[in-house]
Structure 1
Amino acid sequence: MPMDGLTVGFAARELNRILQGGRVDKITQPERDAVILVIRAGSENHRLLLCASPNNARCHLTKGSFSNPLEPPALCMLMRKQLTGARVTGIRQVEGDRVIHVDLDAVNEMGDHVLRRLVLEIMGRHSNLMLLDENGRMLEAARHVSPDMSRVRQVQPGMTYLPPPSQGKLNPEDLTGEALYERLRALEPGRFSRSIADHITGLSRPAAEELAMRVLAPGDTWPEDLRTACDRLADLIHRLPDMADPRVLFNPDGTAEEVFAFPYFTRDLSAQKAYPTLSEAMEICFGSRDAKDRLNQKSASMLRTLKTHVERCEKKLAMQEEELASAERMEEYRMMGEAINANLYQLKKGMTEAVLPDWFSASGGEITVPLDIRLTPSQNAQKYFKKYQKARSARETAAVQKAKTLEELDYLEGMLLDLDKCTGESELEEIRQELVRTGYMKRVTNRRQQRQLPQSQPYRFRSADGIEILVGKNAAQNDRLTASAKPDEMWLHAKDMPGSHVIIRAEGEIPRDTLMQAAILAAWYSKGQRSSMVPIDYTRKKYVKKPSGAAPGKVIYTHHKTAYITAEEDDVRNIPVIS
């Protein structure tokens, strides 16, 4: 979820408290739409990230490492000239909206103190970062917007800055219950949360649902006493600055999903982790998203390749099934040939068909056999025997080809599943190498792309009994995971479908709860993720063998039992992740 006005307000207050009075010592621009200001404040160096990314626009202090371009962009060069040595005089949110002003006291070339303002607009694909002078004139921006791009609002150096168009909503900073009541009283009763999101600046749907839940009676969607509810909501919004308690909501696989400035009771509290500052929480959440976005960009070509080959396999499979269906007539051809041979004395050349006894029918019926008038009866029989042999050969060939196609389709779907589970560049590179090995992708010759990456690691979970459970993320990991397991450790895998190898790091008797949780993970991280009653085979690792020359992740196993599992997301979320 992108930052809403509520979160922006908390971020601005936190940053102002830490950075006000600090001096700008260094400026870098790692991305086209992101700058980092190193600010010395309170005897410490702080790195302020201002990011106008369309997907992940935000502002917070960062400890992350960023690669900078060899040539600084124009915005960075101008900011260094204008802002190096400047003092932060204030950081504030503008009228409860997703806009932040960073005001700085700078010294110009004449030695005079002048106002410089950084404006960060967090507006999805319209997000932008601009540097203004003391008169509100734009000196530079991360994104230029020409009249061809927008008739409403242009962004060009030299133009006077205009704030985003007003939506006519109420400013939460000076909100009163009376003003809100006047807006809502004429509405038909509906969802209170949706109505306040439509009439108060900066409230996202999740934030509005949380605030509505706190002022409404349990189970209500619209207040019985609207005026009282509006008064309570206005009071709650004014008390929010004192409720700061940053949280990050995590997914079952341990990835960060959303950041909240305070606990959201409308979301799973057990999946929310507290952090000392909003900056730390935002770095965890948005850093995870940035990494995911980078992975998505780098995996796009692999995804296209795999989907293309899956489509080809599906078309090939349909053709092979048609061939098999047509080959089913082969027995009919043989019976017609046998019937002709058994009745040669009754037939003559020039006949168009013959009704003959059906020797293969249990009821002793008759069979109508079409004949070629140009051929003798014996030649007609041979024609049917040839058609029989051809159909039989076609069936055998099509059956072999169908088996190969199904095997290839199974492999490709497994690779798609691995790609979906990918959480790091190391895993992505292992998948790429596997696709190169099998000929689906060309080997990379660019040296920069051949840099050594650390070996990827599996998911690690802790069962209810305190036992570690490991889950492979791709075929290469599955091989390493199973090979490194001890002989008496338990191995699990979804039956007859692509999925992760799962290892329970314990020998001897496995507690039932641990076995069940491992089976849930095996079902969740398989092609049957959202299916019911997914068969999960489990056996000791000593009964799992990898055939010589088998593809990565491919094994055979014996002495197994099968559990049927329906894995719900909440079940997976309740299994603690070991970081």
Structure 2
Amino acid sequence: MAFDGLFIHSLLNSVKPKIINGRLSKIYQPFEQDLVLTFRKERKNIQLLLSANAQYPRFYITNQTIANPDKAPTFVMVLRKYLEGSVLKEIEQLGVDRIVNFNFSNRNELGDQVQLVLSLELMGRHSNVILYDQKSGHIIDLLKRINPDENRVRLLLPKAKYELPPLISGINGFEVTEKEFKEKAIHSDPVDFAGQISGLDRDDRQELIGYLEDDFSYSSFKTFMGQFNKKGAFILKTPKNKRKIFPYLPYHLNLTKESADPDINHALAEFYEYQSNQDWVRQKSAQIERLIKNEYKKLTKKIIKLKKQLEQAENSEGYRIQGEILNANLSHVKPGMTEVSLPNYYDNNRPLKIKLDVTLSPARNAQKYFTKYKKLRDSIKHVKKQISIAQDNLDYFDSVQTAIDNAEPQDIDQITEELMNQGYLKKPQKPKRKKKITEKNLNKFRISSGKTVLVGKNNLQNDWLTLKKANKNDIWFHVKNIPGSHVILQSSEATDEDILETAEIAAYFSKAKNSAHVQVDYVQDKRVKKPNGAKPGFVIYTGQNSIAVTPEKTRVLSKRIN
């Protein structure tokens, strides 16, 4: 289901008790459309994510570690000026619409008490976060400033009077009395009645219609609405395996239950974790992915061109033959001839046509063919080397793309640093202080035997994990001939089950994560070496064993411990 008005009503039942009367201690904007507000309450820090993302606008309390940018955007600076240190007095939903107002109490520069409203409008591409003064009703600032030419309905700029967006009129189902229900029901059927209720998306409306078709009564209607006053949630799947989240368990939709959670906020945070991670990674890695795409295109074209050159060089024997035959028959070549047909003693004396340069003597024409032959033969070694270098670079960018695909937002900075060190991106004039790689940066897993498995998320982490962190007797894993993470099983001895579970983790954190029967090599870490001058993440190894596995997301991620 979508983040509709009734879902927001349910979510607030979980969120309100946790943050109301909390003091707002930190505000930052990790990504273009996302804000994180940190509240201090009962000696605990609670992070509230507000997102005006056009595809999935949302809010919920999150435990995700989201990096704070070095430079705060203008809107965040305004929020810090007006809201930092204020107390959240109330959270109000506007009826059952997709507008949530966070009411703060604070003191201005003169020490006077002021009431400020941070309004979150969850309306698809029109989603926004707006700070305004409750008393005057004037906008102080907003996340998305809208040019008047783009929105003629209301003015969305600082100092303008705050006005509500156009709202669809309808009935608030929580306020309908039995008398009102009966009056409406007389003149409508279940479909018409459900269409008059506000705050329902298509799935909720279909489920309500199902309830009313089973029993078109006030009791049935109240039973349906009562489900939105609970605090739990259910994750369900469509026949096409699309995941949906509901604050109740629907019976009239073609959905299969995947899981249940007593806390709707917790369920929602987990539901969006993967999608939001992907979105944040995409935003942070946009420059890198453009670079990879361009380099990949250039290298692919270069390899095709070099392979054509190699093919021509390896098939250059014909030039030598033409030179020899011409040399053996110089007397048959007359001045002014553009070509000559001579018997080819390499092919049963069949006629061979040889093109000639009229400006050169017969002997010089023959020498020209020998020179061309020698040049092509001499180029084979060089062209092969160039193909190998280009292919290595292609594999390198493949490994960087795989790291991005498996990355979390905070990992992109290290990937950027790696590309700067390799000369693919310009270094800033004021370089940031390098953050040392530690075990905290890695993905960490605990397999069934209790042993720990460490996984690098990018090439810099892979090198650090394999060459510095790992004990030489630990077991090193990597997918065979495919870009992927370096994986260390922290043990010198491993059972078949240990190897199988660790290999599945290695396969999942590779380019082959969605494939079946992925071949994974494993060997003691002391047998893994890095050649001099090799790119980050590239190693060689000997004496390995191999195992075929099929990585399964749920099974792999259930072992994660950080």
Q: TM-score, normalised by structure 1?
A: 0.73
Aligned residue runs from structure 1 range 475-514, under 5 A:
475-483=459-467, 484-511=469-496, 513-514=497-498
Report the counterpart of residue 398 of structure 1 in structure 2. Answer: 383
Distance 1:184 1:158, change over 3 A: farther
Equivalent position SS for 1:450: coil
More deviation, 279-288/561-570: 279-288
Relative distance call for 1:541 and 1:373 in structure 2 (3 A) is same
1:423 corresponds in structure 2 to 408
Q: Which residue of 2 aligns with 1:11?
A: 11
* Residues 1:115 and 1:502: Cα distance change in structure 2 (over 3 Å): closer
Counterpart of 2:445, as a letter, is: F
Distance 1:48 1:396 in 2: 60
Q: Secondary structure at the match of 1:562?
A: strand
Identify the residue that residue 131 of structure 1 maps to in structure 2.
132
Match of 2:327 in 1: 341
Give the CA deviation at 1:336.
1.1
CA 1:129–1:34 in structure 2 vs 1: closer, same or farther (change >3 Å)? Answer: farther
Secondary structure in 1 aligned to 2:425?
coil
**2-side partners of 1:46 and 1:379: how far apart?**
86
Q: Distance in 2 between matches of 1:62 and 1:527?
A: 29
Structure 1 residue aligned with 2:302, among 311, 316, 321?
316
Contact 2:19–2:39 (8 Å) recurs in 1? no
Q: Is the 8 A contact 2:130 2:139 kept in 1?
A: no
Aligned: 1:360 with 2:361? no
Q: Give the corresponding residue for 2:227.
A: 240
Partner of 2:522, secondary structure, is strand
Distance 1:237 1:155 in 2: 37
Contact 2:477/2:506, CA 8 A, preserved across alignment: yes
Cα separation, partners in 2 of 1:551 and 1:165, compared to 1, 3 Å: same
**Deviation of 1:462 (Å):** 3.1
Classify 1:528/1:343 alpha carbon distance in 2 versus 1 (closer, same or farther; 3 Å).
farther
Please report how far the alpha carbon of residue 439 of structure 1 lies from its aligned counterpart in structure 2 after TM superposition: 1.8
Matched, 1:578 2:529: no
CA distance in 2, matches of 1:264, 1:463: 36
After superposition, what is the alpha-carbon deviation per residue over 1:437-464, rounded to whole angstroms, capped at 9, x for unaligned? 32223333426x2264553532222334
Deviation at 1:486, TM superposition (A): 4.0
| Partners of 2:284 and 2:409 within 8 A in 1 | no
Is the CA contact (8 Å cut-off) linking 2:173 and 2:197 kept in structure 1? yes
What's 2:455 paired with? 471
CA RMSD, Structure 1 to Structure 2 (Å): 4.9
Q: Which amino acid in the other structure matches residue 51 of structure 1?
A: L
Equivalent positions of 1:27-426 (< 5 A) are 30-31=28-29, 49=48, 51=50, 53-54=52-53, 58-59=58-59, 73=77, 88=89, 91-102=91-102, 119-126=119-126, 127-131=128-132, 133=134, 137-138=137-138, 140-143=140-143, 144-145=145-146, 147-155=148-156, 161-167=162-168, 171-173=172-174, 182=188, 185=191, 201-203=198-200, 208=204, 212=207, 227-228=213-214, 234-235=221-222, 237-245=224-232, 261=247, 269=258, 274=261, 278=264, 296-344=282-330, 346-361=332-347, 365-423=350-408, 425=410
For the 8 Å contact 1:95–1:173, the answer to whether it is kept is: no
Return the alpha-carbon distance in structure 2 between the equivalents of residues 199 and 569 of structure 1: 42
- In 1, Cα distance between the equivalents of 2:321 and 2:34? 76
Which string of whole-angstrom CA distances, capped at 9 and with x for unpartnered residues, describes residues 296-340 of structure 1?
Answer: 544433333333333322232233233334435511111111222
1:525 aligns with 2:526: no
In the alignment, the residues of structure 2 paired with residue 125 and residue 180 of structure 1 have an alpha-carbon distance, to the nearest angstrom, of 38
Structure 1's 264 and 433: CA in aligned 2 closer, same or farther, altered over 3 A?
farther
- Write the deviation string for residues 475-524 of structure 1: whole angstroms up to 9, x where unpaired: 2222232234344543222222322122233333522x443333333333
In the alignment, the residues of structure 2 paired with residue 27 and residue 73 of structure 1 have an alpha-carbon distance, to the nearest angstrom, of 14
Q: 1:332 to 1:564 in 2, by over 3 A?
A: farther
Gaps of 5+ in 1: 187-194, 216-221, 250-256
Distance apart, 1:139 and its partner CA = 5.0
Alpha-carbon distance in structure 2 between the residues aligned to 1:357 and 1:230:
100
1:23-82 Cα deviation digits (max 9, x unpaired): x86676545985859688xx88886858364467555567889789699855665668xx
| CA shift in 2, pair 1:70/1:514, >3 Å | closer
Query: Does the residue aligned with 1:356 lie in a helix, a strand or coil?
Result: strand
Cα distance, 1:15 vs structure 2: 4.6
User: Do 1:350 and 1:375's aligned partners in 2 also have CA atoms closer than 8 Å?
Assistant: no
Q: Name the CA distance, whole Å, in 2 between partners of 1:84 and 1:167.
A: 33
Q: How many residues end up aligned between the 2 structures? A: 535
- On the 8 A contact 1:49/1:62 being kept in 2, the answer is yes
Q: SS state of the match for residue 337, structure 1?
A: helix
Distance in 1, Cα, partners of 2:122 & 2:116: 20
Map of 2:239 onto structure 1:
none
Cα 1:555–1:204 change in 2 (3 A) is farther
Q: Matched residues in 2 for 1:243 and 1:141: separation? A: 35
Aligned match of 1:253: none
Letter in 2 for 1:315: K
Query: 1 CA distance for matches of 2:303 and 2:329?
Result: 41
Partner of 1:535: 519
- Helix, strand or coil: the match of 1:140? strand
Q: What is the CA-CA distance between 1:141 and the residue it aligns to?
A: 4.5
User: Matched residues in 1 for 2:375 and 2:186: separation?
Assistant: 82
Aligned 8 A contact 2:107 2:114 in 1: yes
Distance 1:554 1:39 in 2: 45
Amino acid at match of 1:98: R
* Partners of 1:94 and 1:393 in 2: CA distance: 78
Where does structure 2 lack aligned partners over 5 or more consecutive residues?
A: 237-242
- What displacement does 1:182 show? 4.9
Partner letter of residue 422 of structure 1? A
Q: Alpha carbons of 1:520 and 1:236: their partners in 2 closer, same or farther (altered >3 Å)?
A: farther
Q: Distance in 2 between matches of 1:462 and 1:428?
A: 25
The 2-side partners of 1:495 and 1:371 are apart by 53
Displacement of 1:101 in angstroms is 3.7
Normalised to the residue count of structure 2, the TM-score between the two structures is: 0.75
Contact 1:16 1:92 in 2 (8 A): no
Question: Paired residue for 1:190?
Answer: none
Cα deviation for residue 380 of structure 1 reads 2.5
How many Å separate the matches in 2 of 1:50 and 1:564?
41
